[in-house]
């Protein structure tokens, strides 16, 4: 059945279709719109769609509307692969865009090589994992965000600088968690240190699950800090159980966690007197804080998010209950927004709408782009990652705010 | 619903059979499945381990554990894979799938650089796992460890086992239903047949039976119906036959009853216990009793001790008629003959069922006999006196003639001497015949005296040896004259008997004379010996013998063997009758055994004299 469907799609894709004027520019997006990580997929989609709708409302891209074709993979590799095959087979899809998650993206990568002759590119996946930044797949992928290695490296450097050398790792036992773990390990080894303790959880754990066992394992080693590499529900559960167990060292998360989503889970407890739940968080970000009004893009993002708050959720997300409450603003949707803006700016810089096979060339020629982040976004033939900055944020008074002063974080 | 015995048995057998088959096959299936699954898991785990090892070689060297993890994650989704981990050449964990942390007991499995190692680990609570270690670059880059969960094998086994048992149950139910229907098909006609057979047993041959079943049961039903018809016919025939026989029997019985009722002689039948079972009217008349009221009563109070004794004797010696004279009412006498009723069974010894006694009123005959005896006695007595005179004078004449007359006759011619010789001869004949006649008369008188009890018996202890010697001496002239051998065989230590010596001597002499008389040549022997508690005396000869038909008769008066009309009598014919009278008076018996041409042996018994009183005589052998 599946094979038949694939064959039909491939046959359909084989007939060349000219990009006629007025026809939509479509980007294929396979992401988690259901399950415990659905907040990431949905917010990423909403952020990107806010910008695309703005573009469409202001004359479109070279006069053509641009949109996203969302498909749900529930953060699982299997559906991600099927979705990808389907999307590649559809000729009107310009590129794959805004994929979410390490385990899904790393499994999709071989497909890009397989369908090399179709010149399909994966643009700005929401993951900092290494495989798509390393040969042989780096050729087919353009990243915007910094890698996990960069995030963890910056994080470890910061913690060591604060005198917190006994660093424990709590991570999701899959490729994503492993890449975070690997990043911490590598960063520590440059200081001659090793991981003080490690505990894992299975992908798919929710906030309701107990992380007491993992807390016990880590607390035993008496760490100075914990680096948490996981999804926001599990990480929030870990924070909750760690604070309950009296483990009050800083708990650091990396960008993938979805700070706002995690904050939302913990906020109820914070407000009901369990202040500890919301204290001691360090979250690295690969985009600036959406609270930083000094950046022009932030203003544009907030305005467009407010204007296009009515963007309908993808089909799969609408069907799954309980209904998802969209966030007005968050790092994830901001990243989605930036992804969309970077793509549009790059294509505009190219001077015309590229065909599939011209897309890599178009992006690679976007060497010093300004998307309003204060620093340039730069791609090149040997540089498929546009942005290297890592930002530190924390939870404070119900919001994710940048950390400007580290004096309180010392050991 | 109550199950029939057939159903219950079939059900039990089915359940037991299915239970055994289901259990055995489930165990077998589970065992096969367990081996297969284990093998499968080992090969699966090996394949995974080798596959990861192949991918990981380069990744370990480029220090990319996330990609190794991606590969591992992919396999972790396969069923049965419990964990995967990769260690580098220093034994450091590069990647693993454990949560919340790698358990210490699952690490530390050593690897073999040459080949894939498989170990079966039993861990508490988890059901254990199969631990497979594959080398990466011959162990130079590290090892891949794959754990296959044995608990899943167990789950599969149970699920397969349960499904198997479930299937067996379904098959069992279907089979039970089919069996039930089949058994019902057999059982229902059988039940009907049983009912039919019960009706036949109650002799109801008329109620018809509908035959619905086919096959063996149907054949049985047909056979039963046919058999019922046959039996019905047979029973009808038998009933008719029995009716006819019964009426025949009744008729015969009636005739017999009429015969018995009209018999002139009295008939008495006694049972084994001596009680009366039948008495005819004639008998009732003899005793002045009502024959109908006699049934079941003891014989002795009704008919006296003689009849009772007679019946007992008859029953003790079956096959022989026992006779006795029995006093009747009104000073009459009957002669009773008793015989045992012998039931000659088809096998085994004949059994005595009682006795039949026939009584004939002989009062008249006895009277005539007495008159006859009196007459003979009187006649004899009247003859004896003149005969004595005749004999005495004849002898006197012969002596006188011989002494006085004949010597004086001169021999003057043949005629005188001839006349003298003739007179002499005639006188001898007169004396001899007179003597014989006298003997006869003496004997007749003797026997009449004995019969009328007028003899005086000189009873005294007596030695038989002495009596035998005396008898031998007395008879010597007789056997000497005929040249016969004579011998006696009487042991000296024989006990004494009580008897009249002269009379016993008379018996012995009589028997020896008889023997000599009928033995032309050969020997005569007199012997006596103890026989139980009596003395048995016998006189044997090698003479002409006696024909069977005369053996009883010769002890009667005036009876001799042979035809008395055509043959010349050789004695008075009273000798043996007198012997009989004497022996019987002594409480003994006398009898003979003989065959023509083979000699004769006469026996008689005498009771032993002990403590001065003679013992009651026992009957001798028949």
Contact present, A377 and A135 (Cβ < 8 Å): no
Contact map slice: B 31-70 vs A, CB within 8 A: 62-70
Q: Is the pLDDT of residue B559 over 70?
A: no
Chain B nearest-CA distance from A181, in A, is: 9
A77/B69 Cβ within 8 A = no
Choose the closest CB to A103 out of B70, B97, B100: B70
B65/A179 Cβ within 8 A = yes
What are the chain B neighbours of A77 within 8 Å (beta carbons)? 73-74
Per-residue pLDDT of chain A (411 residues; tens, 9 = 90+): 444 444 444 444 433 343 444 689 999 999 999 988 899 999 999 999 999 999 999 999 999 999 999 999 998 989 999 999 999 988 789 999 999 988 899 889 999 999 989 899 999 999 988 889 988 899 999 999 999 889 999 999 999 999 999 999 999 988 889 889 999 999 999 999 999 999 999 888 899 999 999 999 999 999 999 999 998 899 999 999 999 998 989 999 998 887 888 888 888 777 777 767 888 899 999 998 888 888 889 999 999 999 999 999 998 888 877 888 898 888 899 999 999 999 999 999 999 999 999 999 999 999 988 888 888 899 999 999 999 999 999 988 778 888 888 888 887
Contact map slice: A 153-192 vs B, CB within 8 A: 173-179, 181-182, 186
Q: Which of A111, A148, A178 to mutate to test the interface with B (most CBs of B within 10 A)?
A: A178
Least confident of A50-64, B113-127, B476-490: B113-127
Chain A nearest-CA distance from B88, in A, is: 14
A199/B100 Cβ within 8 A = yes
Q: Which of B83, B95, B100 to mutate to test the interface with A (most CBs of A within 10 A)?
A: B100
A103/B73 Cβ within 8 A = yes
CATH class of the domain defined by A2-145+292-364: alpha beta
State whether residue B484 is helix, strand or coil: coil
Q: Which tens digits make up the pLDDT trace of B320-369?
A: 788 888 888 778 888 888 888 888 766 777 788 888 888 888 888 888 88
B97/A178 Cβ within 8 A = no
Chain A nearest-CA distance from B58, in A, is: 12
Q: Is the pLDDT of residue B467 over 70?
A: yes
Residue B560's pLDDT is 63
Q: Is the pLDDT of residue B621 over 80?
A: no
Task: Tokens for B290, please give them.
Answer: 């009502």
Give residue B463's region: left, alpha or beta (phi > 0; psi -120 to 50): beta
H/E element, A396: strand A391-396
Contact present, A124 and A98 (Cβ < 8 Å): yes
Q: Which tens digits make up the pLDDT trace of B212-232?
A: 777 777 888 888 888 888 888
Nearest CA in chain A to B96: A173
Nearest CA in chain A to B73: A174
Residue A141's pLDDT is 95
Report percent pLDDT > 70 for chain B: 93
What are the chain B neighbours of A182 within 8 Å (beta carbons)? 63-66
Is the previous residue joined to B100 through a cis bond, with omega within 30 degrees of 0?
A: yes
CATH class of the domain defined by A148-285+391-409: alpha beta
Please indicate whether the domains covering A2-145+292-364 and A148-285+391-409 agree at the CATH topology level. Answer: yes
Contact present, A297 and A371 (Cβ < 8 Å): yes
A175/B101 Cβ within 8 A = no
Length of chain A: 411
Domain ranges for chain A: 2-145+292-364, 148-285+391-409
Task: List, as own/partner pairs, every contact residues B158-164 make where C-beta atoms lie below 8 angstroms and the sequence separation is at least 24, other chains included.
Answer: B160/B29, B160/B30, B160/B33, B161/B26, B161/B29, B161/B30, B164/B22, B164/B25, B164/B26, B164/B29, B164/B30
Nearest to B70 by CA among A183, A181, A79, A176: A176
Number of neighbours of residue A287 by Cβ within 10 angstroms: 28
Number of neighbours of residue B459 by Cβ within 10 angstroms: 15
Choose the closest CB to A178 out of B65, B77, B99: B65
Q: Which of B68, B73, B74 to mutate to test the interface with A (most CBs of A within 10 A)?
A: B73
Question: How is A209-241 classified by DSSP, letter by letter?
Answer: S--HHHHHHHHHT--SEEEEES-HHHHHHHHHH
Residue B3's pLDDT is 63
Nearest CA in chain B to A215: B100
């Amino acid at each position: 059945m599946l094979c038949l469907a694939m064959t039909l799609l491939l046959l359909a894709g084989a007939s060349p279709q000219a990009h006629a004027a007025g026809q939509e520019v479509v980007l294929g997006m396979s992401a988690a719109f259901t399950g415990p990580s659905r907040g990431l997929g949905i917010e990423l989609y909403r952020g990107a769609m806010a910008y695309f709708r703005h573009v469409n409302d202001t004359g479109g891209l070279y006069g053509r509307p641009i949109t996203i074709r969302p498909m749900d993979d529930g953060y699982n590799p299997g559906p991600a692969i099927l979705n990808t095959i389907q999307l590649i087979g559809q000729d009107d899809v310009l590129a794959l865009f805004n994929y979410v998650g390490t385990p899904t993206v790393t499994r999709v990568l071989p497909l890009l090589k397989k369908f090399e002759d179709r010149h399909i590119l994966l643009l700005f996946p929401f993951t900092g994992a290494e495989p798509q930044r390393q040969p042989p797949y780096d050729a087919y992928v353009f990243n915007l965000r910094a890698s996990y290695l960069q995030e963890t490296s910056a994080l470890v450097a910061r913690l060591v600088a604060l005198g917190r050398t006994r660093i424990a790792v709590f991570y999701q036992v899959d490729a994503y968690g492993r890449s975070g773990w690997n990043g911490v390990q590598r960063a520590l080894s440059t200081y001659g240190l090793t991981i003080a303790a490690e505990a894992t959880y299975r992908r798919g754990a929710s906030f309701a699950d107990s992380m007491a066992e993992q807390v016990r394992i880590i607390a035993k080693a008496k760490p100075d800090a914990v680096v948490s590499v996981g999804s926001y529900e599990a990480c929030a559960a870990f924070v909750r159980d760690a604070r309950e167990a009296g483990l009050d060292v800083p708990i650091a998360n990396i960008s993938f966690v979805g700070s706002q989503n995690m904050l939302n889970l913990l906020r109820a407890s914070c407000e009901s007197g369990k202040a500890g739940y919301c204290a001691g968080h360090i979250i690295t970000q690969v985009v600036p804080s959406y609270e930083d009004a000094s950046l022009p893009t932030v203003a544009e993002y907030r305005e467009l998010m407010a204007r296009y708050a009515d963007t309908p959720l993808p089909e799969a997300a609408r069907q799954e209950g309980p209904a998802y409450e969209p966030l007005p603003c968050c790092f994830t949707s901001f990243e989605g927004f930036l992804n969309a803006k970077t793509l549009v700016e790059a294509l505009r810089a190219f001077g015309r709408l590229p065909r599939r096979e011209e897309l890599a060339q178009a992006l690679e020629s976007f060497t010093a782009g300004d998307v309003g982040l204060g620093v340039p976004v730069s791609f090149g033939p040997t540089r498929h990652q546009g942005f290297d900055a890592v930002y530190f944020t924390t939870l404070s008074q119900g919001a994710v705010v940048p950390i400007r002063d580290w004096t309180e974080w010392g050991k | 619903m109550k199950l029939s015995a057939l159903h219950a048995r079939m059900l039990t057998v089915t359940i037991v059979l299915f239970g055994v088959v289901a259990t055995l096959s489930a165990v077998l299936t589970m065992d096969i499945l367990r081996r297969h699954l284990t093998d499968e898991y080992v090969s699966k785990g090996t394949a995974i381990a080798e596959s990861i090892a192949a991918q990981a070689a380069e990744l370990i060297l480029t220090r990319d554990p996330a990609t190794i993890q991606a590969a591992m994650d992919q396999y972790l989704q396969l069923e049965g894979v419990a964990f995967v981990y990769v260690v580098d050449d220093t034994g450091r964990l590069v990647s693993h799938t454990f949560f919340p942390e790698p358990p210490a007991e699952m690490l530390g499995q050593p690897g073999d650089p040459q080949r894939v190692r498989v170990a079966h680990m039993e861990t508490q609570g988890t059901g254990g796992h199969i631990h497979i270690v594959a080398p990466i670059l011959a162990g130079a880059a590290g090892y891949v460890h794959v754990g296959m969960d044995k608990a899943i094998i167990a789950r599969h086994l149970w699920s397969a086992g349960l499904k198997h048992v479930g299937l067996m149950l379904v098959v069992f139910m279907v089979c039970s239903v089919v069996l039930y229907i089949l058994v019902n098909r057999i059982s229902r006609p059988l039940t009907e047949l049983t009912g039919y057979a019960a009706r036949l047993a109650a002799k109801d041959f008329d109620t018809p039976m509908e035959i619905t079943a086919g096959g063996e049961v149907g054949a049985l039903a047909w056979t039963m119906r046919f058999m019922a018809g046959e039996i019905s016919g047979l029973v009808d025939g038998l009933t008719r036959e029995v009716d006819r026989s019964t009426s025949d029997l009744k008729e015969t019985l009636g005739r017999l009853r009429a015969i018995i009722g009209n018999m002139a002689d009295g008939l008495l039948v006694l049972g084994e216990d001596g009680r009366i079972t039948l008495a005819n009217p004639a008998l009732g008349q003899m005793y002045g009793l009502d024959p109908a009221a006699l049934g079941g009563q003891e014989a002795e109070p009704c008919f006296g001790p003689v009849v009772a004794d007679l019946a007992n004797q008859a029953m003790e010696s079956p096959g022989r008629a026992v006779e006795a004279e029995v006093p009747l009412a009104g000073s009459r006498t009957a002669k009773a003959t008793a015989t045992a009723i012998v039931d000659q069974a088809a096998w085994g010894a004949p059994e005595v069922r009682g006795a039949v006694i026939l009584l004939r009123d002989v009062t008249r005959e006895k009277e005539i006999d007495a008159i006859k005896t009196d007459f003979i006695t009187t006649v004899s007595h009247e003859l004896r006196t003149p005969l004595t005179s005749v004999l005495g004078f004849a002898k006197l004449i012969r002596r006188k003639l011989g002494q006085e007359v004949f010597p004086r006759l001169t021999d003057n011619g043949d005629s005188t001497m001839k006349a003298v010789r003739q007179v002499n001869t005639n006188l001898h004949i007169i004396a001899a015949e007179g003597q014989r006649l006298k003997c006869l008369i003496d004997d007749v008188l003797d026997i009449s005296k004995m019969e009328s009890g007028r003899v005086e018996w000189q009873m005294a202890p007596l030695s038989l040896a002495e009596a035998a010697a005396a008898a031998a001496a007395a008879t010597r002239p007789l056997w000497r004259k005929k040249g016969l051998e004579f011998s006696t065989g009487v042991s000296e230590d024989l006990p004494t008997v009580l008897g009249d010596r002269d009379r016993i001597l008379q018996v012995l002499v009589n028997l020896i004379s008889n023997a000599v008389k009928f033995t032309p040549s050969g020997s005569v022997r007199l012997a006596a010996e103890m026989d139980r508690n009596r003395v048995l005396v016998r006189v044997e000869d090698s003479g002409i013998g006696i024909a069977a038909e005369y053996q009883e008769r010769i002890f009667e008066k005036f009876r001799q063997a042979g035809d008395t009309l055509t043959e010349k009598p050789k004695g008075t014919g009273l000798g043996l009758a007198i012997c009989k009278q004497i022996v019987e008076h002594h409480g003994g018996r006398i009898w003979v055994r003989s065959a023509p041409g083979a000699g004769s042996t006469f026996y008689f018994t005498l009771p032993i004299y002990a403590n001065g009183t003679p013992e009651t005589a026992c009957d001798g052998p028949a």
